[in-house]
Amino acid sequence: MTKDKVTAIIFTTALTAVVTKLVASYFPTVLTYAQTTFSTIASWFTSVYPIKGYHLLLGLLIIHSISLLANWLKREKELPFPYNYTNDTIDGILWRWEYRNNGIKNLNGYCPYCDGYIVSKQSQSSYDGSILLYCEHCSTPYKDLPLPPYATHTSEATKPYHAKIEREVLRRIRVKGKELSINQ
């Protein structure tokens, strides 16, 4: 037997005896359970298995620390203006968008009452062929757009209106940016 193993056995035995005496004097009913549990744990930490108990605990501590660090790095940070400006109400319609490649993308209209999508259809009441923007969910009408002569589909007819909304968003960004630079 090696010196380290003998030391571990002596340490485990002495520690078990002390803890057993303390437990026996205060809690005699749990004596056998505590003695068995503590002996098992102590022998596991001082065993000659390929992986020692304290190595396993250290590994679990490292894995937990890495996961905490990853969550801290992944948490959402406050974006600077204009990247935190992603929705506004224009022409009575709630518009939402994203920023990608230094531009506005996925500009979509939503109903300010029920958050339904704003969709378009050719107006039935108009002889000149206009496009009606309305809520797909609650059917609230929002805008009647003139049908351009070149448009063969309602999506082509709404492109100029979407371009107008995008220009208005960019104008509001410029105005807000000027206000922010003045206040700083």
* Per-block mean pLDDT, blocks of 10 residues, the chain (184 long): 74 79 63 71 65 70 84 69 83 89 87 89 64 87 74 70 89 79 59
CA-closest candidate to residue 95, choices 165, 144, 146, 158: 165
133 within 8 A of 120, measured Cβ to Cβ: yes
Q: Is residue 56 included in any domain, yes or no?
A: yes
Q: Is residue 81 included in any domain, yes or no?
A: no
Do 62 and 97 share a domain, yes or no? no
- Interatomic CA distance for residues 182 and 121, integer angstroms: 44
Last residue of a domain, one of 74, 101, 124: 74
Rounded to 5 degrees, φ, ψ at 104 are: -85, 130
Last residue of a domain, one of 49, 74, 99: 74
- Structural domains in the chain (count): 2
184 within 8 A of 176, measured Cβ to Cβ: no
pLDDT value of position 143:
80
Do 61 and 95 share a domain, yes or no? no
Do 63 and 94 share a domain, yes or no? no
Q: Is residue 124 included in any domain, yes or no?
A: yes
pLDDT value of position 23:
61
Do 155 and 92 share a domain, yes or no? yes
Rounded to 5 degrees, φ, ψ at 131 are: -110, 130
Q: What is the pTM of this model?
A: 0.52
- What is the helix, strand, coil percentage profile of the chain, to 5? 50, 20, 30
pLDDT value of position 64:
86
Q: Tokens in use for 156?
A: 């082509």
Q: In what order do the strands lie in the sheet with 103-110?
A: 87-90, 93-100, 103-110
Do 110 and 133 share a domain, yes or no? yes
Q: Tokens in use for 119?
A: 């969709």
Do 106 and 167 share a domain, yes or no? yes
Q: Is residue 79 included in any domain, yes or no?
A: no
pLDDT value of position 99:
86
Q: Is residue 23 included in any domain, yes or no?
A: yes
Q: Is residue 61 included in any domain, yes or no?
A: yes
Domain that holds residue 52: 3-74
Do 166 and 105 share a domain, yes or no? yes
Last residue of a domain, one of 74, 101, 119: 74
pLDDT value of position 47:
63
CA-closest candidate to residue 140, choices 162, 115, 157: 115
pLDDT value of position 153:
63
